Amino acid sequence: MTLSSLQHALARFAVERDWEQFHTPKNLAMALAGESGELLEIFQWLTPEQSAQVMQDDERAVQVREEMADVLAYLLRLADVLDVDLERALVEKIEKNRGKYPVHLARGSAVKYTQLGG
């Protein structure tokens, strides 16, 4: 499925339940952050190594997939109500980041770009 058809499915789901009244950009940004917080809770006590094995536990794997689906759902709803083309926005952001994080400076470093020397 394309993002666009997923957006249509989500919009229809909301319309059928008369939930559009709740889906202001402010509320959707909150819901998106709330779901990101639930994803965070799955990982918070895991070591980085354990986090890389998280999908090998069936119960946790289901949780991870569902929370990620929830994040995507609210991100797509937000993009829909704000009329943002998400895929284009990401392509442009990647281009912009190429300039901010040139390979020869950023290589192996997690330092934020403003601190990268010349």
Tell which one of 4, 8, 11, 38 touches a copy of itself (CB under 8 A): 38
Centroid of chain to Cα 20: 21
Tell which one of 45, 99, 114, 117 touches a copy of itself (CB under 8 A): 45
Tell which one of 4, 19, 57, 116 touches a copy of itself (CB under 8 A): 19
- Residue 116 found at the interface with a copy of itself (CB under 8 A): no
- Nearest-approach distance from CB 84 to a copy of itself, in angstroms: 6
CA distances to 8, 49, 91, 118 from 2, in Å? 10, 33, 16, 41
List the one residue out of 72, 84, 81 whose CA is nearest residue 36: 72
What is d(CA 102, CA 115) in angstroms, rounded to the nearest whole number?
A: 13
Residue nearer to a copy of itself on the CB measure, 45 or 118 = 45
For residues 55 to 94, the per-residue mask of contacts with a copy of itself, x marking binding by CB under 8 A and - elsewhere, is x--------xxx-xxxxxx-xx-xx-xxxx-xx-xxxxxx
List the one residue out of 18, 22, 2 whose CA is nearest residue 76: 2
Q: How many amino acids of this chain bind a copy of itself (CB under 8 A)?
A: 76
Beta-carbon neighbour count of residue 113 at 10 Å? 13
- Nearest-approach distance from CB 98 to a copy of itself, in angstroms: 8
